[in-house]
Each structure stands twice: as structure tokens, then as C-alpha cells.
Structure 1
Amino acid sequence: MVLDLRILLRQRKSSVITEFLLIFLICTMLTWFLQLLWRKRKLYQASLNLPGPFALPIIGSAFYFIGKPYNIFGQIMHMFNNYPGIFRVWFGPRMFYAVSDPKYLEIILTSPQALAKENLYRMAQPVTGHGLFSTLSVAHWKKHRKIINPTFNQQILDRFMVVFVEQSEILIEVLKKYAGKEEHDILKLMTRCTLDIISETAMGVQIKAQSTDTSFPKWVDRLMEIVMIRIFNIYYHSDFIFANSRLGKEFYDITNKVRTFTKNVVLEKKKIRYNEKFENNEVSSDAEGTMLKRTAFLDLLIDINYEAKNFQFTDEELMDETITFMIAGSDTTASTNCFVLTMLGLHQDIQENVLREILEVVGEEGSVQLSHLPNLKYLERVIKETLRLFPNGPFLVRTAQEDIDLGDCTIQKGCSIVLGVLRSHRNEKYWPDSLKFDPDRFLPEKAAKILPGCFIPFSYGPRNCIGMKYAMMAMKTLLATVIRRYKLFTSYKSVKDIELKSNMVLRPKDGYKLTFELR
């Protein structure tokens, strides 16, 4: 009996301790939660004052973003269309401000408090490292941008014209096998061409993507698709979970291939550039390409290292900036070129106007020359109108480092801001009949009246795209070369008919439907 009593007392004591620990744990969690609510009270108050989609506890509105990239993109655009101007989205425990009104975009993009990229950009960092596109540190970005800016001056860009022409003329030969045949999505062909252009101008290496079966374009496209999926899958935000998932293993495998390829080029280039006799060398590299004597962006960055007294790029930083140039310079210009050709296939009258200008400026024979580019004014308006309807980056994401006053709303310090570029570009208030393809919107007298936040295909403000002039020169050269040789058709019936998706870069869901005929 005494033994049984002792056992009961011990059990009771153990039960009391367990109950105490459970109560203590609940109280601790409740205290933590109440402190969290108190710290975020201003944010919750701001959230109550803004419209936005339904949000559940803990996961917020993340359940809207389940599925393939096309479905995710559709949900985002649906929200921007339902809540014009500014709204809030809870993504897990974090609140995002979503902004598409041009007057707000201009304030945000020019604010020194909104220079920081959102933490989600870290998901691209295994590929691009801390290059200009993905670095989260404003100080790092400012230092690199200041040093790299001079390499994009007009005199240096002019040297690349010969590359633009050579690769564009290879493309029109490649397109011959598709002329007069069934409809074809030329994105892969165009990406191979722009990759050849950027590999020569950024790295000084010929990889001959248009004539050989290189995997680089497929690698880049798949990496960007996986990044898009990861951003909107809240479980993949954990580095541990993502790295051990099937998708994560594929991502890191491809990343390793891209960075190994670039590392070989950087190391070989450094050897050649530091050699006083590099101008007399032409070396086959381990990077599956041929080193060229022509000066590229990578050469200029290496020269900065050689000449600088107070600053030097590490090999890792050289690799980061080179990969950033490669991806940004090939994927985005390829997509815009394809959209331009699709728009011309859809609007035969505009295509004839473009052809007429090309023949007047360039002539029926001979290559496009540097002196021709400023005179291809109508073609430039066509490119800009295409970028209005189909901006490469449909969304930008920044972080507010301090409160940002928008006039009738204040963005709270520490919050993230999603900028709806595509929604702004198609805003009926600022672009009447916004889905109509009309290059004359960019006539000089009309362009002067466009509010800055209405047209931002290369972003805007201090952290805009460093390669705007480069991209425009490359696109005008390539498009003039192709249009003079081929007449274009598409089965799309209208701009509205083109459903969109995004794997970081905007794409048509059903591809670029194009038919070519030799002129």
C-alpha cells in the first residue's frame, strides 16, 4: 500500500511538472506572439487600410501561388487588375505592398530608401552571385555600378557593332531552312543568336551557339524557371528543404555547369590579359569556345583590376558580373526580338512601314552600319511599343529601408514592394486603348508627355538597367537584318490573344507563332 502511494505521488509530481512545462510553453509562445503583434502594430494597421486578397494565418495568401509558372503569373496579374493603384499581399508572415500606379512607381524607383532589392533575389544568387542584378547590399551595388558604368560608354559600345552584324547575318542564314514552312517558335534560334552576341561582347569568347548544339540557352531558361517556382513556393524558401528537393538538386547541378563554364573563361582571360603579348594570341579555352582578340566587357573589368590602386574585383566577382551580363544580355533581348517579330506578323501595315524605312536608310544590299542605327527611328518606336506591351520584367521587387511617403499612403520601413510594370504599361488611364499596338505613341512630341512611371521596361531611377543602349543597338541591328530578308506572319489574331507566362522573363504561354517567307 505504501509502495502504491509512493508511485502515485511520483506520477502526480511528474504530471504537475509536465502541466507546468506545457503552460510555460504556451505562455512563452503567447508572449512572443503578442510582442510580435505589438512590434508590427503599425503594419497591421496599414494592412487594414489597404485592399488585398484574402489571407490565412501563418501562410497568408501563399495558397494563391500554387502551380506552374503560368498559373502563378496569372494569379499575380489577376490581383493587379482587381486592385489597381496599391494593395497589400500577405506572403507567409510578411506583408508586401503591390504598386502599379505610375505616380507611385516614380516615387519609389527614385527614392534612395528603395534601392535595396528584396530578399527573394537571393534565390538567384547561386547563379549570378552578387552581380549588379541580384546583390542585396546597396553599398556593394553602388561600388560596382560606379566602376562598371564607364565600360558601357558609347565609344566602347560602338566597337561591338561588328559582332551584332556578324551574328545577325548568321541568323538569317539559319532561318532559311524554316522559310516557307509551317509555323515555328523561333525563341531557341533567337536565344542562340543573342547568346553568341553576348558571349563575344561580354566574355570575348566565340561559343558558336548558332552552329553547334550548346546547352547554355537551355540551362539559363531552366534556371530562371526554377527560381520563379521557388520564389512562390513558401516551403522552398528554406535553403535546407530546397537543396534536398528534386528541383533543388537539378538547380544546383545546372548552376555548377554555368559557373564552371564562366570560371574557365575568367581564368583564361586573366592569363591572356596580363600577358604583355596577349594581342598576338588566339587561344582555345576549356570553356568550349574560342578566345578572341576583340576587347570584351570582361577584358575591361580585368583591365580595371590591373590599373586600379584602391579597388580590385575578386575572381568570384568577375564571374558574378560576367554571368549577369550573359543572362541579362541574351535572354531578355531574345524575348523582345521575338515579340517584335510577332507584332510585325500581326500588323502587316506596320511591318511594311518598317521595311520601307530599312530600305531607305540601309538600302537593299550591304550590312547594317553603325551610322544607320540613329536613323532607324520608326523601328525604334516599334521596339518601344513592343516593350510597353511586353516588358521583359513584368514585376520588380524592392525593400523599403525607411518609410516612403507616397502622398496618400506610407510604405512602412522594412516592408517589400512589388512593382507591377506590366500593369502600369497597360493602364488605360495613361495608355488609351492600351492593347492596341501603336508605335506612334512614341513620336517625339508624344513621348515627351509620357510620365516616367508609365514606361519602365529597363526599370527607372538610379538602379535602372545598365545595358539599355547596348540592348537597343543590338536589337535594331538584328531586326533590321531579319526584316529586310524575310516577310513575317503569325496566327495570333490580336494582342489580347497572346496569353502570357513568366519564368522571370515574360513569354507567350503558347510560344512565338511565326511563319517566314523570303522576300
Structure 2
Amino acid sequence: MGETISSYIKFYTSVILKPYSWTVFELLSVALLSTFFVWYIQFLWSRRKLYKCAKKMEGPLALPLIGCALYFIGSPYDIYCNIMTMFNKYPKIFRVWFGPRLFCAVSEPKYFEILLPNFLRKEHLYHHAECVVGYGLFTAPLDIWKRHRKIIMPTFNQKILDSFVDIFSQQANVLVEQLKTYSGKEEFDVFHVVYKCTLDIICETAMGVKVNTQTTDFPYPKWVDRIFEIVFLRIFVFWYHFDSIFNFTPLAKETTDLLKNLHEFSGVVNTKKKAFLDYLIELTSDENSKFTEQELREEVDTFIIAEKVYDELIEILGPDRSVEPADLPKLSYMDRFLKETLRLFPVAPFIVRAIDEDVDLGDHIIPADTSVVFGILKAHTDEEYWPEPFKFDPDRFLPEEVAKRHPCAYVPFSYGSRNCIG
């Protein structure tokens, strides 16, 4: 037995350890592998809460290193369809690994009520939109958002909004004339027609500038659509997260050209009547709350681009009279019609927030250092709250019907203090 043990020791020291014959390369390789192994064990141990949380949730297949990234390849439409398929397959709550990062996706209103008012920090992936709107309200870090929101909020008072009703009416009349050209013809995409109307309204009310996109071939809507397609791809295509890769793609050059056009447009302000921008400048004249020129441009960019709601209603007030502010409270059916439109076409089908501390949802624990995806469109079409969810029925918003539902079953502009200011 002693001879056997002795032979093992000799073999181990002479063949495996080779203490006097290892090359520098072999020593470095072993050192690097050992260091990586120790780091990896520590990395896994530090994330044990994430793995414990993920194990308790359903979710799509996650591969080593890339997680579920293969589900987010293709056109923006393909990616969107894959995301909605996940929400339909794993209702209420599920997990998605995006590379090494854990995302918890929720579509249950009770989760919205707990999370949205208490976690206001946007997910880091939103920074890919900063190239378009800078640190406007949509993308701003929490400290900047709080300051800007406090400054901007007074401009959204009823008196100022009432002063814009005449512009709404004029542009709506132009929209009616544009829609007449499609009457009796084949099916068409109404979004692009309505979006041009919305852009005309927001430019004239926010900046006092008439751009006449409804009656001319002004390319701004195309620029906006394309730049946000690229932003969408940068967010969801994993390898586009790295500037060193993205900057060598044709999309990078296209992004530069589009941003030049967009920023040149928003920088040319020729105000002929008092507009949103004037009110904003007046409110920020104090040195302690003054916006810089760049901050003003970023907020203007945000308001121009974010205004993409479906305003398909043609309300006839009479053969000649235009809409007046006093008419608005009387239009109860129009109000329900718009709400039902936004139920099926919310401003964003999903939004993402960062989670900074452990959250107890009652039936699940979401650990700190994760992010939550809120499936707004899924909540808006959940049969538990919306019978025949894809049937268009404005009477879902009659007061007695609204009283039956959870308040977060309908959140087209998000919920809590970081909801859409518009």
C-alpha cells in the first residue's frame, strides 16, 4: 500500500504538477483560468437571489451567456410579435433573461399598482433613445426628470390648453379633407394620416410653427418613424448594445443623418403667436429653474415625437361652427371613444422600470437589480377585465363599468407620478 501511495505522489508531482518544467505560457494559462473560475463562482454567488427568483417563475428558454436574446432578432414587427407571444403564453408574471440580466414581465393590474408609483427610474436600455430626445422627460435620469417635470407641469393648465382649441379645430378640418380623398377606396393605414395631423397640432401649439405636413410631402414623420425603428432595434438586438459593433453597421450612418435632420428642424423656431415654448421660457426665467438652450431643445423634441395618439374621431357640432373649449366637457361619448381607442392602441404597448430594492408582490418576490417590463397592452386586453377584449366598445368606459375594474387595468399613459405629462 505504501509503495502504491508513493508511486501516486511521484506521478502527480512529476507528470501533473511538473514544478520545474512548466512554461511561462502554461503558468499564465493556469493563473488566468483559476482567476476566471474564482471570479465566476463569486459572480454566481452574488446573483443567487436572482437565480432563486427566476427559478420560481415561468419563462422562455434561456441559453448560456445570451439568455433569451434569440427571441429578439428580426424586424421591429417580428420582435414586437415575439414579445406579445410571451405575454400571451405566460400570463400575469414571467421571467426573461436578456444576456446576463434578469427582467420580470408583469401584466396583472395589482402588480402595476405596487410597482409603478414606487419605482420611477427608467431602465438603462432607454439611454439608446437619448440620441433622439436627449434628457427630455421620456429618457431623463430621475434627478433631471424631477426638476424638469416640476418646471413644465404648470404649462399644462386648463387655461393654456383652452387657448389651443382653435388650432385643434383648424387642423381637424384639414384632416377631414384629407380623409375624404380615401373615401370609397381600398383599405389604408390611418395611422400615417392621423400622425401628420397630430404633428401639425403639436408644432403649432408647442412652438408656434406651422409645418403643414398634412398638405405637403414634409418628410419629418418618416424621419421620426425610422429613427425610432433603429432605437427599437438597438434596445432589443443584443449585440447592437455595444457601440464598437453598432458604429460599424449601416444603421449608424443612417442614425447620424436622421438626427441631423431632426435636430435642425426642432432648432428652427419662428414664433408668431404665444405657444407652449413661450410659456415654458417664461416659467424658467428664474436663475434657479432656468432651462439651458439644450434642455429646451430636448424637451421640445420629446413633445414633438411622443404625441402619437390615435385621434380618429370626427365629431359634428353643426354645419358651420368649430369646436370651442366650452364644448369639451359635453362630449362624453367622444371621451369614451378616445379611451377605448387608447385601450387597444396605448401610447406604448410596454414600458420598463429599474428595480432598486427587493419588492414583495404577495405571491412573488422581485429582487433588487432587476428590471420590470409592464405589459400595458396585455393588461388592456385581459379577458378578466375586458370581455371580448378585441371588440371596440366605447361603453366600457361608462362610469358604472369603470367602477367594476381595477384602477390599473387601464393605464395608457402609465400610472403614478412618472406618467405621461400630456
Aligned residue identity for 2:205: T
1:387 corresponding residue in structure 2: 342
> Which residue pairs with 1:165 in the alignment?
169
Stretches of structure 2 lacking an aligned partner (at least 5 in a row): 1-18
2:111 aligned residue:
104
Distance 1:315 1:174 in 2: 36
Which of 280, 290, 299 is matched with 2:278 structurally? 299
Aligned-partner SS, 1:300: helix
- Quick one: which amino acid aligns to residue 279 of structure 2? L
Of residues 38, 41, 48 in structure 2, which corresponds to 1:34?
Answer: 41
Which of 50, 53, 74 is the aligned partner of 1:46? 53
Match runs of 1:241-320 below 5 Å: 241-265=245-269, 291-306=270-285, 308-320=286-298
Over residues 405-448 of structure 1, what are the superposed CA-to-partner deviations in whole Å (9 max), with x where a residue is unaligned? 21121211121110000111111112222222221111012212
| Corresponding residue number in structure 1 for 2:375 | 420
Map residues 27-426 of structure 1 onto 2, 5 A cutoff. Answer: 27-111=34-118, 114-135=119-140, 137-265=141-269, 291-306=270-285, 308-329=286-307, 332-333=308-309, 336-337=310-311, 340=312, 358-359=315-316, 362-426=317-381
Identify which range, 255-264 or 91-100, moves more after superposition.
255-264
Query: Is the CA contact 1:206–1:292 (under 8 Å) kept in the aligned structure 2?
Result: no
Q: Which amino acid aligns with 1:132?
A: L
Residues 364 and 264 (structure 1), Cα distance of their counterparts in 2 relative to 1, 3 Å cut: closer
Measured after TM superposition, the shift of residue 13 of structure 1 is 8.2
Deviation at 1:457, TM superposition (A): 0.4
Distance (Å, rounded) in 2 between the aligned partners of 1:182 and 1:48: 51
> Once the 2 structures are TM-superposed, how far is the Cα of residue 14 of structure 1 from its aligned partner?
8.9
Give the match's secondary structure for 2:23.
helix
Deviation for aligned residue 1:240: 2.3
How high is the TM-score relative to the length of structure 1? 0.75
Equivalent residues of 2:165, 2:323 under 8 A apart:
no
Structure 2: how far apart are the matches of 1:292 and 1:310? 25
CA distance in 2, matches of 1:78, 1:207: 39
Query: Aligned partners of 1:434, 1:203: CA distance in 2, in Å?
Result: 38
How far off its partner does 1:42 sit? 0.8
Q: Deviations over 1:239-296 (max 9, x none)?
A: 222122111221122012111221232xxxxxxxxxxxxxxxxxxxxxxxxx343221
Alpha-carbon distance in structure 1 between the residues aligned to 2:361 and 2:248 = 42
Render the CA deviation track for 1:299-355: whole Å, top value 9, x for unaligned.
12221232x1312111110011000000012xx12xx13xx56xxxxxxxxxxxxx8
The superposition leaves residues 210-264 of structure 1 with CA deviations (integer Å, 9 ceiling, x where unpaired) of 2322111000000111111111100000122212211122112201211122123
State how far apart, in whole Å, the 1-side matches of 2:21 and 2:349 are: 60
Against the structure 1 CA distance between its residues 216 and 29, is the aligned structure 2 distance closer, same or farther, given a 3 Å change threshold?
Answer: same
Give me the whole-angstrom Cα distance separating, in 2, the residues matched to 1:38 and 1:418: 25
Inter-partner Cα distance in structure 1 for 2:276 and 2:63: 48
Whole-Å Cα distance in 2 between the matches of residues 211 and 434 of structure 1? 36
Cα distance in 1, alignment partners of residues 290 and 22 from structure 2: 65
| Structure 1 residues 30-62: Cα deviation after superposition (integer angstroms, max 9, x where no partner) | 111111101101111111111111101100010
CA deviation after TM superposition for structure 1 residue 389, in Å = 1.9
- TM-score, with structure 2 as normaliser: 0.92
Cα distance in structure 1, aligned partners of 2:279 and 2:91: 44
Cα deviation, residue 186, structure 1: 3.2
Asked whether the equivalents of residues 51 and 88 of structure 1 are also in contact (C-alpha less than 8 Å), the reply is yes
Equivalences, count:
404
Aligned residues: CA RMSD: 1.7
Report how far residue 15 of structure 1 moved: 5.6
